[in-house]
Amino acid sequence: MYQDSFKLKGTVRLVLTDADGNVKEDRTVENLVTTAGKGWITERMVGTVLGVMTHMGVGTSIQDPAAGDTALIAPHADGRQALTTSGGTQVTIDSTDDAVEYVATFAAGFSTGALTEAGIFTASTAGTMLCRTEFAVINKLIGDALTITWRVKAAAA
């Protein structure tokens, strides 16, 4: 009997740079694909129009991600940025690796403070949250920029 195991796995790369572009921090953490995110994927497979992932948000909670999360626990007041990539599109699809990559940059002057959580959403406010992660504090100063690259891969469980 053939068994297929399928899992969505995400990794999140966080790169903090200063005003001169010098890298202050560069780390990679794992994430959780939420129950709502899995539902969004399933609905998209049958053609239901639910919108696409368009924004990434950051916050300040140290609460561990849970499957039932539908929003960041403590979102930053100006903590949502539109997704971008170097090519100007919202996502990059790597069909050879069965992955989707989302990128957002929190520029100088935005989302400053002790950041500890992030998520991907279908809207600039509210919307469906695909993934959430929690990480050790990144202290983003007013002149710093934080680029988050989020890679969600379909993989064997």
> Which of 7-21, 24-38, 70-84, 143-157 is least confident?
143-157
Cα–Cα distance for residue pair 134/59, rounded to 1 Å: 9
pLDDT at 29: 96
Higher per-residue pLDDT: 99 or 63: 63
Q: What is the pLDDT of residue 91?
A: 62
Quickly state the pLDDT bin for 72 (edges 50, 70, 90).
very high
Residue 24 Cα distances to 16, 47, 73, 106, 115, angstroms = 5, 43, 26, 15, 14
Confidence at 64, pLDDT banded by 50, 70, 90:
very high
* Domains in the chain: boundaries: 9-154
Helix (H) or strand (E) holding 12: strand 7-17
Cross-strand pairs, 66: none
pLDDT winner (highest mean) among 33-37, 70-74, 122-126: 70-74
- Specify the pLDDT at position 7: 77
pLDDT in tens, 93-137: 666 677 888 999 999 999 999 999 999 999 999 899 999 999 999
DSSP string, 24-48: EEEEEEE-EE-HHHHHHHHHHHTT-
pLDDT in tens, 75-97: 999 889 988 754 444 566 666 67
